[in-house]
Structure 1
Amino acid sequence: MEFNKIKYIERKTGEIKIEKVPGEKYLKFLYYNPLGELPLNLVVKKKFLTDYYGKQMDKKESTKKIPSFIKEADINIEEAKKTIDQFTSFNDFFYRELKDGARSIDFDENVLTSPADGKILVFENLEKEKELFIKGDKFTLKEFFQDSELAKKYEGGVFLIVRLAPIDYHRFHFPCDGKIGASKLINGDYFSVSTHAIKKNFRIFCENKREFSILQTKNFGDIAMFEVGATMVGGIKQSYTPDSFVKKGEEKGYFYFGGSTCILVFEKDKIKIDKDLIENTKNGIETKVYMGEKIGVAFN
């Protein structure tokens, strides 16, 4: 497969943009060069490398990386609660909290909102999809959930991916009101979840470490909320209280350093995703959305 720069649609403006990808030349080597397969499988996908780098990002001296990262990624640091000199490590900056009101949340009870800032791909039914991102890959819900009963429950439903790039805000939130269950860990590898990687192997979502919990809702059925780890993601922190009632927009947790992914899986006939997100996916391009932004409505 030919290597191309990652293009996406900025939903607010309709503009097609090129993503700034830290370490893109290494991703090109690992996923598009036959010589990259050996280090990818022997080292890069392994937990020890991600753990090591995550610990480096917890050290005080890692704060030196913050100013250049902000400049290169063009991050609006004015949205953050802390100023640059208040961060205690790069990780502290990476999973920074935003000021109240930094994101607008659509509180209509029939509206589903994005759980995070990121770029969306959405598949209305994985079993029938033959589009760019999953063509030729043997991806099954049974393998993804590691649970045959849950796989059957969500058969024929919507599979929605929100990919967080390293430059994005890295806290994730609840997309609607509901009762949230405990988080279940599924151990796995640490492949990159960059578009460069998933175009080559959609099965990464079955192979990477991930956690999921079920959000029981009034209007959208039981939503399976997944958080997927990736190369250099030092960890996934769940900050919510299990078996509690949560409100739309409340924080669920956050990712430590690295790119990562939130995935929402819906039961059949419970959600109608906005048409532009579906059409963009069919055209092989992601759509940039922000936490709290409308991405669908309840199926009536």
Structure 2
Amino acid sequence: MKIRNKFQTWFLQEDLNFLLTNRIPRITLTRLMGWWSQLRHPWIVKGSIAVWSWFTDLDLTEAKQQTFDSLHACFTRELKPGLRPIDASPDVMTSPCDCIVGACGEIRDGIVFQAKGFPYSLSSLLSSPELVQRWPQLLEGGAFVTMRLTSSMYHRFHAPCDAHLNHVTYISGDTWNVNPIALSRVRELFCKNERAVLQMQTLQGLQFLLVPVAAVLVASMRFHAVDVLLNLRYRGPNEIHCDVDYIKGQEIGWFEHGSTILMFLPPGFALVEGIENGVRLRMGEALFRKI
């Protein structure tokens, strides 16, 4: 245990961590990881999970199944029923995922933050001319939150309220690490990485965005509303029409590993008291409240 703790402390040194997780052939290694995670040999699966557990705080006691035929099955595991109670208050938008809260706050002049001193524009993030024409103005004065999923966390994400999904825009890109070390060094990182923009609205017509952002070793995301896997090998179409209703807490999709979800709301909602950078949340806990 002492050796493991010392190794983790050594690995988390900023310069070394940034070098080992970013100054590498990111896309090639991400594709290799995708191939490796699908291998079904029991020795490979058990060995990979053992190594993964040594590097992280992986806890599989909540998993619906306790044995896995591939590393991918472990990454995308479901939980035992009832482990994530959903805040049922109609005035609350819940966390769509297990996460560590990153930068959060108010959207001003179309600018938000990935880390202190590292702003990015909604226009750069959304990229698509149709999205840029509409959403920055709609969200101005609203609120945003960054939700980071570490590799060991539950990787599925869920509807934060009763909502309708009407469109998905897939934006191919790079696979920078999205941990705090990289976010404090790489400007506009979220605007560089592979991502998807989910245009959603509440049953009352309030429009909001969920933006899952991929990262090194993951770069694959799956939505129940879209019948293809969105990853670095996907070639289009990038604009995907959807017509799906969700009840609060219903599963929307999953990452193949760990990554980040960005959430943007127009004026009328504020972060729940106590939500700030570094706070850990579970899916279903209160995140935003009507004001």
Q: TM-score range by the shorter chain?
A: 0.7 to 0.9
- Partner of 1:181, secondary structure, is strand
> Does residue 95 of structure 2 align to residue 133 of structure 1?
no
Q: Tell me if structure 1 keeps the 8 A contact 2:106–2:112.
A: no
Report if the CA contact (8 A) 2:164-2:203 is conserved: no
- In structure 2, runs of 5+ residues without a counterpart are 227-241
The aligned amino acid for 1:118 is C
TM-superposed deviation, 1:204: 0.7
Change (3 A) 1:91 1:131: closer
- C-alpha distance in 2, partners of 1:25/1:72? 11
Are the aligned partners of 1:219 and 1:270 in contact in 2 as well (CA < 8 Å)?
no
Does the 8 Å CA contact 1:210/1:228 hold for their aligned counterparts?
yes
Residue correspondence of structure 1 range 180-259 to structure 2 within 5 A: 180-218=165-203, 221-240=206-225, 242-257=242-257, 259=258
Give the Cα separation in 2 of the matches to 1:227 and 1:40: 20
Matching residue's letter, 1:293: E
Query: CA-to-partner distance for each residue in 1:5-26, whole Å, 9 max, x for gaps?
Result: xxxxxxxxxxxxx9x9799458
- Distance in 2, matches of 1:197 and 1:226, equals 19
CA distance in 2, matches of 1:174, 1:159: 16
| Greater fraction of residues in strand | 2
SS in 2 for 1:119: strand
> 1-side partners of 2:114 and 2:213: how far apart?
21
8 A contact 2:45–2:69 mirrored in 1 = yes
Matches within 5 A, 1:1-300: 24-25=11-12, 28-29=15-16, 31=18, 36=19, 40=22, 43-44=25-26, 47-61=27-41, 62-64=44-46, 65-70=48-53, 73-84=56-67, 87-121=68-102, 122-127=104-109, 133-135=115-117, 137-146=118-127, 147-149=131-133, 150-218=135-203, 221-240=206-225, 242-257=242-257, 259-267=258-266, 269-277=267-275, 280-281=276-277, 286-299=278-291
Aligned length: 263
Identity within the alignment, %: 25
> RMSD across aligned C-alpha pairs, in angstroms?
2.9
Contact 1:214 1:224 in 2 (8 A): yes
Offset of residue 189 of structure 1 = 0.6
Look up the SS of the partner of 1:60 in the other structure. coil
Q: How far 1:214 moved relative to its partner?
A: 1.2
Q: Describe the shift of the 1:129–1:235 C-alpha distance in structure 2 as closer, same or farther (beyond 3 A).
A: closer
1:288 and 1:220, CA in 2 relative to 1: closer, same or farther beyond 3 A?
A: farther
- Go from structure 1 to structure 2 and tell me whether the alpha carbon gap of 1:81 and 1:270 turns closer, same or farther (over 3 Å shift): same
* Distance in 1 (alpha carbons) for counterparts of 2:24 and 2:59: 37
Displacement after TM superposition at 1:67 (Å): 3.9
1:24-78 deviations in Å (ceiling 9; x for gaps): 45863363xxxx49x946722xx33211111111111331222453465343322
- Residue 123 to residue 53, structure 1, CA distance change in 2 (3 Å): same
Please give the alpha-carbon distance, in whole angstroms, between the structure 2 residues aligned to 1:130 and 1:272: 15
Alpha carbons 2:194, 2:214 under 8 Å: kept:
yes
Shift of 1:141: 0.7
Contact 2:113 2:120 (C-alpha < 8 Å) held by counterparts:
no
Taking structure 2 as the reference length, the TM-score comes to 0.81
Q: Is the 8 A contact 1:209 1:228 kept in 2?
A: yes
CA distance, structure 1, for counterparts of residue 114 and residue 254 of structure 2: 29
Distance 2:177 2:198 in 1: 22
Q: Please say if residues 113 and 291 of structure 1, whose CA atoms lie closer than 8 Å, have aligned partners that are also in contact.
A: yes
Maintained 8 Å contact 1:141/1:155: no
Separation of aligned partners in 2, 1:254 and 1:131 = 24
Measured in 1, the distance between the counterparts of 2:10 and 2:254 equals: 22
Secondary structure of 2:28's partner? helix
Q: Secondary structure at the match of 1:166?
A: coil
When residues 154 and 161 of structure 1 are mapped into structure 2, their CA distance, relative to the original with a 3 A threshold, is same
